[in-house]
């Protein structure tokens, strides 16, 4: 061996075999004495000079370009050379087992993300190097003795210090005061791994030790091996404890899916199990640059192609429908992807190579452009639609849809405002049946949303809230309550009070349920509609909603409410079938059902007539318990099946 390091393997051999250290390159990139007559030349010039000499002496047999792996700097592409240099390290290799045990004490959301941590720790081959030779950063509070090589540490009370400008607190134990400050700075993770402890003010006068361990670390999946791992490591070393009880790991925004299409030729390549360069290029152009030498596995199963590969950011798994030009699904966890692919899948293994580069997108997709066009609430609403831990493709159609949704919420609340007016509505003596039903559905929604939020599943929580707001509140309730609000003289004071109370309560609860997702529009509506009546300065100071629990006979109210809403739905459908407008009066409707079920509809008879615009409703007895038939002019037009 003429010099010690060509690549990382050499470093490992040098250490494991206790080889002699021979350095051919200096820190400023020039050849050392080892290079003989080439000493002092920069690396590339030395290469040229050596080639010239070989040619001159007739020793060069052939010269041709080859492709091989070279480690380069990620920003400028300059080749990297290994140097030996003292660094500050934190020992982690002998704590692997303990660090894995720490992970078991933490709740991982979603749970499969823990595997990434464990894989990382199990495969660690180096200790943690925390020093960097850069200008900016947190300095090491250390002075080195120039006479004996030992060092002097700063006093706790003097921290923070910059050893390059501040004097050492004392002389070296050898008696020398010839001390020099350490020029290195700490790597980002060396300090960001202390964020929980910094937040509970570790070591400060107003330390809040009771906040340790913290409840939650939110972060994305690409820094599990850095931010999450180092925070767990630091907490273990400093406090013999976990830094937080829970970690919620989100995904990335991926490029618009509509751009990611596969030409026919590639699909036929895939059919033959080929992974071509063109395929790799498509992956890269679409924001999934593959790792150098990435392992690619292609699997066909049930008419779908699964492509397993490692991209620059993380292991990602692609599911492609055979014969489809689009990639409908990207899995970010191996477990999930393999589950989808089926347990006993046979994989065709191929090795692919692709250049690493960052994907580029137009301004159309820049965060600022999206914010300006769709508002902060629109952007948040969209981001909350990704399942926790999964990547979310950028799709402008979703933004348009969310924009319409924000208009819908604004309009629904303006409608409610017109009819609430005056003092905060108090609970009426008797809740109208449909009002009780809606408030029960609201209670259900609060219960589900709370449960999902507690598991950091904000997406499913939002789906529950959406379902209640869009379907139950807007499509059903507002339509039903309109008759009461527009024809006040036909209803009792109690019925009107009940409507005001229900509109008010639903509205205030819906706003609070939505406030984590769309903080601006909910705040605006709160200021206009609720602030004077509720007294709090902001909706974001209000507590998370709790169940109202105002209805005693829950099951009966839910069953009859559902029957009523379904009956309304069928009446509208019948009118549609007969090309009638919803406002047209249907002269007569007969509902044929089992006598036991009749009560469910009868309870709502007047509402059904008023909201459905039906002049006369009659009941016919039927023996069938599981269905109700809606009959107009002797013909059963719609059949409603009871699920209960």
Rounded least distance, CB 130 to Zn ion, Å: 21
Residue 36 near residue 2, CB atoms below 8 Å: no
The CB-of-141 to Zn ion minimum distance in angstroms stands at 17
Alpha-carbon torsion 200, 202, 206, 208, what sign? positive
Q: What is the CA radius of gyration of the chain?
A: 35
Instruction: Kindly state the smallest distance separating residue 361's Cβ from Zn ion, in Å.
Output: 24
Q: Is 548 helix (H, G, I), strand (E, B) or coil?
A: coil
**Span from 149-157, 245-253, 257-265, 452-460 in contact with Zn ion (CB under 5 A):** 149-157
List of long-range contacts for 459-463, beta carbons under 8 Å, 24+ apart: 459/384, 459/385, 459/386, 459/387, 459/388, 462/384, 462/385, 462/517
Q: Among residues 129 and 174, whose Cβ is nearest to Zn ion?
A: 174
Nearest CB to Zn ion, comparing residues 292 and 602: 292
| Residue number, 65 or 76, with CB nearest to Zn ion | 76
Where are the strands (E) in 353-452, listed by range? 392-393
Concatenate the DSSP letters of all residues of 14-56 into one string: HHHTTPPP---B-TTSBB-GGGGGGTT-BHHHHHHHHHHHHHH
The secondary structure of the chain in percent helix, strand, coil, rounded to multiples of 5, reads 45, 15, 40
Measured CA to CA, the distance from residue 82 to residue 23 in angstroms comes to 9
Site string for Zn ion, 593-622 (x = CB under 5 A): ------------------------------
Q: How many residues bind Zn ion (CB under 5 A)?
A: 10
Binding mask 173-212 for Zn ion (x = CB under 5 A): -x-x------------------------------------
Cβ proximity to Zn ion, 38 vs 143, nearer residue: 143
Binding mask 287-316 for Zn ion (x = CB under 5 A): ------------------------------
Site for Zn ion in 151-180 (CB under 5 A): 172, 174, 176
List 56, 73, 344, 404, residue binding Zn ion (CB under 5 A): 73
Of 67-75, 179-187, 195-203, 595-603, which part binds Zn ion (CB under 5 A)? 67-75
The C-alpha atoms of residue 195 and residue 243 are separated, in whole angstroms, by 9
Choice between 77 and 535, CB closer to Zn ion: 77
Q: Which is nearer to Zn ion, 121 or 145 (CB)?
A: 145
By C-beta, is 176 or 188 nearer to Zn ion?
A: 176
Listed residue (38, 45, 51) closest to 2, CA to CA: 38
Question: Scanning the structure block, which residue is given the tokens 């480690």?
Answer: 71
**Closest separation in Å from C-beta 42 to Zn ion:** 15
Partnered with residue 393 across adjacent β-strands are 254
Among positions 107-146, residues that touch Zn ion (CB under 5 A) are 145
Question: Cβ 280 to Zn ion, closest distance in Å?
Answer: 25
Is there a contact between 233 and 90 (Cβ–Cβ < 8 Å)?
yes
**Minimum separation from the CB atom of position 164 to Zn ion (A):** 19
**Which residue of 18, 78, 123, 240 would you call a contact of Zn ion, by CB under 5 A?**
78
Distance CA 608, CA 616 (A): 10
Residue with tokens 């509505």: 425
Residue 275 CA to residue 298 CA, distance in Å, equals: 8
Q: Which residue has the tokens 């219960």?
A: 447
Go through the chain and tell me how many residues it has. Answer: 644
Residue 147 Cβ, how far from Zn ion at the closest point, in Å? 5
| Interactions with Zn ion, residue window 449-508 (CB under 5 A) | none
Residue 166 CB, shortest distance to Zn ion, in Å, is 19
User: What is the contact surface with Zn ion in residues (CB under 5 A)?
Assistant: 73, 76, 78, 145, 147-148, 150, 172, 174, 176
């Amino acid at each position: 061996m003429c010099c010690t390091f060509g690549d990382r393997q050499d470093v490992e051999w040098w250490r494991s075999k206790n080889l002699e250290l021979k350095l051919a390159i200096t820190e400023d990139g020039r050849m050392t004495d080892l290079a003989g007559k080439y000493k002092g030349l920069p690396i590339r010039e030395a290469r040229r000079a050596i080639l010239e000499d070989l040619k001159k002496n007739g020793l060069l047999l052939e010269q041709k370009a080859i492709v091989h792996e070279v480690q380069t700097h990620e920003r400028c592409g300059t080749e990297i050379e290994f140097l030996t240099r003292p660094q500050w390290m934190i020992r982690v290799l002998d704590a692997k087992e303990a660090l894995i045990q720490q992970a078991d004490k933490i709740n991982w959301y979603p749970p499969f993300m823990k595997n990434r941590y464990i894989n990382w720790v199990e495969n660690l081959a180096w200790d943690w190097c925390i020093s960097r030779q850069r200008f900016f950063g947190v300095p090491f509070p250390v002075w080195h003795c120039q006479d004996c090589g030992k060092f002097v540490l700063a006093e706790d009370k003097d921290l923070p210090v910059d050893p390059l400008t501040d004097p050492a607190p004392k002389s070296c134990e050898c008696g020398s005061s010839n001390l020099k400050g350490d020029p290195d700075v700490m790597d980002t993770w060396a300090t960001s791994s202390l964020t929980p402890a910094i937040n509970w003010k570790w070591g400060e006068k107003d330390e809040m030790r009771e906040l340790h361990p913290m409840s939650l670390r939110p972060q994305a999946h690409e820094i599990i091996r850095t931010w999450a791992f180092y925070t767990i490591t630091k907490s273990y070393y400093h406090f013999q404890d976990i830094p937080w009880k829970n970690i919620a790991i989100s995904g990335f925004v991926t490029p618009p899916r509509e751009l990611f299409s596969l030409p026919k030729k590639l699909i036929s390549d895939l059919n033959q199990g080929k992974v071509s360069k063109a395929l790799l290029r498509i992956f890269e152009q679409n924001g999934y640059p593959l790792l150098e030498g990435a392992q690619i596995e292609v699997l066909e199963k049930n008419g779908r192609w699964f492509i397993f590969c490692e991209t620059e950011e993380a292991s990602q798994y692609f599911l492609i429908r055979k014969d489809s030009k689009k990639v409908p699904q990207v899995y970010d966890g191996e477990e999930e992807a393999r589950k989808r692919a089926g347990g006993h899948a046979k994989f065709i293994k191929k090795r692919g190579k692709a250049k690493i580069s960052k994907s580029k997108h137009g301004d159309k997709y820049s965060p600022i452009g999206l914010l300006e066009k769709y508002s902060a609430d629109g952007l948040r609403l969209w981001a909350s639609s990704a399942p926790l831990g999964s990547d979310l493709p950028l799709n402008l159609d979703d933004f348009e849809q969310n924009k319409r949704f924000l208009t819908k919420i604004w309009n629904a609340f303006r409608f409610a405002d017109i009819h609430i007016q005056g003092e905060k509505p108090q609970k009426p003596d008797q809740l109208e049946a449909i009002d009780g039903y809606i408030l029960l559905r609201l209670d259900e929604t609060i219960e589900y949303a709370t449960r999902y939020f507690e598991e950091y599943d904000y997406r499913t929580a939002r789906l529950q809230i959406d379902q209640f707001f869009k379907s139950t509140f807007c499509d059903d309730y507002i339509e039903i309550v309109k008759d009461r609000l527009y024809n006040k003289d036909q209803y009792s004071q109690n019925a009107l009070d009940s409507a005001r109370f229900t509109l008010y309560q639903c509205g205030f609860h819906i706003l609070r349920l939505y406030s984590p997702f769309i903080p601006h529009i909910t705040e605006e509506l709160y200021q206009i509609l609720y602030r004077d009546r509720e007294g709090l300065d902001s909706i974001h100071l209000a507590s998370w909603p709790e169940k109202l629990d105002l209805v005693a006979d829950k099951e009966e109210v839910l069953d009859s409410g559902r029957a009523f809403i379904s009956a309304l739905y069928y009446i509208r459908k019948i009118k549609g079938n007969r090309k009638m407008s919803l406002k047209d009066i249907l002269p007569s409707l007969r509902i044929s059902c089992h006598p036991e079920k009749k009560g469910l509809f009868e309870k709502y008879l007047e509402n059904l007539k008023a909201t459905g615009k039906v002049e006369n409703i009659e009941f016919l007895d039927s023996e069938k318990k599981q269905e109700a038939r809606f009959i107009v002019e002797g013909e059963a037009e719609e059949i409603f099946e009871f699920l209960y």
